[in-house]
Amino acid sequence: MKLQDILHKVRAGELSVTEAETAIRGFEDLGFGKVDYARESRTGYPEVIFGQGKTPEQVQAIFVRLHEKHGKVMVTRADRSMYELVREAVPDAVYDEMSRLLTVGSCERRFAGKVAVVSAGTADLPVAEEAARTAEWMGNEVDRIYDVGVAGIDRLLAQRERIREASVVIVVAGMEGALGSVIGGLVRRPVVAVPTSVGYGAHFGGLTPLLSMLTSCAAGVTVVNIDNGFGAAFSASIIQQAILEGAS
């Protein structure tokens, strides 16, 4: 809707002043937060809700508005109480216990290449699934290659070709995080490494694989925050987007 149209409608009484303000500024102010409607046109993706630290009521309010506007919504780090409240308003909403993603709809599949999500152990699954499902929601085909930690290197090497076929590789690993370095040395494509909080003792809640991935002896590996499967998938998607669009 163009600015002139909005103003005409206000004059005609077809649009309230508040509605008009939201349409012009591109976001709506809910008091406790500002819902950004213009993000999809600016960046290609609608705003994603970071659930942690928000009340279920806040999540519901933002969810409903984004759903009305875009028809698709994603909440990360959601819990069951958020889901309960959201589905009262949006019955199609889906909650995945493992990845803690609460979604409705999704972006259509749009990229030619695949994103590989490679994980070290079974306990890394929640983060790996956060990455995989986020990537799918953002329009990527995803190849899941799980439980191939470096302690059994042959198990990993057996997947070498499959990993090399991806356009971007997301590596999810807790413990010492060595999988990042080994895969970084195997592929020609960007590797985004996600340390996880899976471990104990000298693992310090993920600090060890985080530091380990940052000091990787393999070039071409970049790192995101501990357990940030979402962030890795987001970065993978914008790399896919850049590949799709070619040199900007």
* Interface of this chain with a copy of itself, residues 162 to 191, rule: CB under 8 A: 164-168, 174-178, 180-182, 184-186, 188-190
Contacts of 203 (CB under 8 A, 6+ apart): 174, 175, 209
Binding-residue pattern over the window 101 to 130 for a copy of itself, x denoting contact by CB under 8 A: ----------xxx------xxxxxx-----
With DSSP H G I counted as helix, E B as strand and the rest as coil, what are the percentages for the chain, rounded to 5? 45, 20, 35
The residue within the footprint of a copy of itself, chosen from 10, 19, 21, 27 (CB under 8 A), is 27
The residue within the footprint of a copy of itself, chosen from 3, 7, 89, 151 (CB under 8 A), is 151
Pairing of strands 114-119, 141-145: parallel
Is residue 148 within 8 A of residue 117, CB to CB? The reply is: no
Applying CB under 8 A, what is the total number of residues that bind a copy of itself?
104
CA distances from 218 to 93, 128, 183, 184, 226 (A): 41, 22, 8, 5, 19
The residue within the footprint of a copy of itself, chosen from 99, 117, 212, 229 (CB under 8 A), is 212
Quick check: 89 binds a copy of itself (CB under 8 A)?
A: no
Quick check: 223 binds a copy of itself (CB under 8 A)?
A: yes
Quick check: 143 binds a copy of itself (CB under 8 A)?
A: no
Applying CB under 8 A, which part among 63-71, 81-89, 99-107, 193-201 lies near a copy of itself?
A: 193-201
